[in-house]
A = this chain, B = another copy of it.
Amino acid sequence: MGAEREAARLRPSYLIRVMPAKGVLVAVTADAIVAGGGVIGTAIAWRAAMAGLGVILVDPEQGDAASLVAAGMLAPVSEALFGEGALLRVNLLAVARFGSFAAELEEVTGHPVGLRREGTLAIAYDAGDYAALMRLTAFRRSAGLDAEELDSRACRKLESFLTPDVHGGVLFAGDWSVDNRRYAAALREAAADAKVLLVRDRVTEVLIRDGQARGVRLADGGEIGSARVVVAAGSASGAVAGLPAQLRAAVRPVKGQLLRLRHPAGLPPVLTHTIRATVRGIDVYLVPRADGEVIVGATQEERGPDRTVTAGAVHDLLHDAMSVLPVTSELILAETCAGLRPGTPDNGPIVGGFSVGGLLLATGHYRNGILMSPVTADAVVACLTGQPPAPEWAPFTPGRFVVEGLAGEKGSR
């Protein structure tokens, strides 16, 4: 049993006990269990361990985390849409926190996570795209956000490889980006250093008795006991039994396909800023990395749990990228990949507890999982340690999807 092997490594200073049981089963308990080892779950596990809890992180480690497919844009500004003011406030909290969180992560692990602070250059291809960009810019300014309008020539002064056909653009200097894979790897390392125990398995059910979380059941049949369980399983959160049916139904996978390009030898860097372009109403982004990688993304597809890379999506991404940055055609196509974002009915995350004692959720981050991972960890650790989370989270509790009286599911014990 994976848990047993892992438990054998623990040190007595942590509140995890191996208890002999009948037959081959060994009961393991921890102060807290986190189900899901993407950036959300791993960040929570790390911070909870730093707060003094003995934490077991359960993840099958199949490399299918949506965070490995992300572009790593930290874009509270250019992601903010009309009618999503509450989400914008969480995103602003998130970007304000990201710098210190990343700095601590880099200090603890010694590995840079590839933060870039050049900002996002939003590009409008034609006059219609520009009119839409201007409406969005006015809204963002009304929310107190910084935005600088640029004509076509000024855009190309910032990014010389842009097509001259660009109508105009806006520089959002408040946006950053991070290398999502370096960031995820650093989080895993920091969590391991903080003595988080990793169990390579999948949580199939949260065990609940008398309205209180008691632990989790694993796909291999074992159980881990804990009075605190955090479900951070991304788009797979809905597959976890024991959660109220309404909560399970609230999370759905939204497929995203993206491309990882590289510079061939001899070609100077083709980009400095993150580019978000609207080309005749179609959105595409290009995110440069310090190591010469350029991420092009991303589709948003309602296709259930399908993670295949399709010819049509790759074509469209390349076509749109080449239409704003023609030199893209000269880049090496190093990787095509697809991930499943956890979407929700109101596009907002689901963070915090509800009527089941000790059971917390941290999922539904949709397109903002990387950005929100530090503040989500802060909020969940606050809940775990009896503190109030930041007030920005109030609109995003699980309770908004749970009608009282239906919170429990039959079959959970």
Residues on A close to B: CB < 8 A? Answer: 259, 261, 264, 306, 308-312, 314-315, 318-319, 321-322, 328-333, 336
Contact = CB atoms under 8 A, between A and B. Distances in A.
A383 B318 CA distance: 50
Nearest to A308: B332
A333 B336 CA distance: 9
A259 B311 CA distance: 9
Contacts of A328: 311-312
Contact of A322 (B259, B311, B322, B331): B311
B333 A309 contact: yes
Contacts of A314: 314, 318, 333
Contacts of A306: 264
29 contacts: A259-B311, A261-B311, A264-B306, A264-B308, A264-B310, A308-B332, A309-B332, A309-B333, A310-B331, A310-B333, A311-B321, A311-B322, A311-B329, A311-B332, A311-B333, A312-B318, A312-B328, A312-B329, A312-B330, A314-B318, A314-B333, A315-B315, A315-B318, A315-B319, A315-B322, A315-B329, A318-B318, A333-B336, A336-B336
A336 B306 CA distance: 20
A13 B233 CA distance: 63
What 5 A-B pairs are tightest by C-beta distance, nearest first? A312-B329, A315-B318, A308-B332, A311-B333, A311-B331
A382 B121 CA distance: 67
A390 to B, nearest CB: 42
A329 B336 CA distance: 15
A385 to B, nearest CB: 46
Contacts of A331: 310-311
Nearest to A316: B329
A309 B311 CA distance: 15
Contacts of A315: 315, 318-319, 322, 329
A268 B333 CA distance: 29
A96 to B, nearest CB: 36
A310 B314 CA distance: 13
A297 B318 CA distance: 17
A318 to B, nearest CB: 4
Contacts of A261: 311
A336 B334 CA distance: 9
A259 B312 CA distance: 13
Given A329-B312, A332-B311, A319 B319 contact: yes
A308 B306 CA distance: 28
A336 to B, nearest CB: 6
Of A312, A330, A331, the most chain B CB neighbours within 10 A belong to A312
A328 B311 CA distance: 7
Contacts of A330: 310-312
